Amino acid sequence: MDNNNSEVRFDSDQCHLVRIDKQDVAFSAAESRNLLVAMEQARQSGIYVGCRGGGCGKCRIRVLDGDYASKRMSRAWVSPQEEAEGVVLACRIFARSEMVIAPYPPELAHSYQTP
């Protein structure tokens, strides 16, 4: 699955409420901001902040509910099947409706060799 969605538009300022499941955390995310940076800018925490670029995997989450657009994220941390099931990197997705998410950070010592 080619997940380099470079044609998706990320310039809308419309905002959506994002809740972190089982935590008392909610923040508003503009459609143009990735979820991780939206959380940081709302001075909230709950998802680990790493590179903010889809490379390090530290911000991995499960989307429990809601719609989103996404940019390419490293296959070292999210397989095509996982991505289809809503496992994503928070720094590479953009809210398109109200959302409920849960942290799902990767194990250390994940080994992945790129072809």
Partner 1 sequence: MRKGVMRPGHIQLRVLDMDEAVNHYRDLLGLIEMDRDEQGRVYLKGWTEVDKFSVVLREAESAGVDFVGYKCVDEATVDRLREELVAYGCKVEDIPAGELKDCGRRVRFDSPTGHMFEIFATKTQTGKWGVGKVNPEAWPRELTGMKATRFDHCLLYGPNIAGTIDLFRTVLGFELAEQVLDGEGTRLAGFLTVGMKAHDVAFIEHPEPGKLHHASFFLDTWYDVLRAADLIAMTDTSLDIGPTRHGLTHGETIYFFDPSGNRTEVFAGGDYHYPDHEPVTWEADKLGKAIFYHDRVLNERFLTVLT
Give residues in contact with partner 1 (CB under 8 A): 4, 6, 49-56, 58, 71-76, 91, 108-114
Q: Which does 81 bind (CB under 5 to 8 A by kind): ligand FES, partner 1, none?
A: none
Task: Provide, rounded to whole angstroms, the least separation between the CB of residue 67 and ligand FES.
Answer: 20
Does 89 participate in binding ligand FES (rule CB under 6 A)? Answer: yes
Q: Report d(CA 30, CA 68) in Å as an integer.
A: 11
Pick the closest to residue 57 from 3, 7, 96, 109 (CA basis).
109
Does 59 participate in binding ligand FES (rule CB under 6 A)? Answer: yes
- Residue 20, Cβ density class (10 Å: 0-12 exposed, 13-18 middle, ≥19 buried): buried
- Bridging pattern class, strands 93-95 and 25-30: unpaired
Of 48 and 98, which has the nearer Cβ to partner 1? 48
Task: Provide, rounded to whole angstroms, the least separation between the CB of residue 57 and partner 1.
Answer: 9
Distances (CA, A) of 99 to 4, 5, 21, 113: 22, 20, 10, 33
Task: Provide, rounded to whole angstroms, the least separation between the CB of residue 45 and partner 1.
Answer: 13
Q: Report d(CA 37, CA 43) in Å as an integer.
A: 10
Does 51 participate in binding ligand FES (rule CB under 6 A)? Answer: yes
Size of the site for ligand FES (CB under 6 A): 12
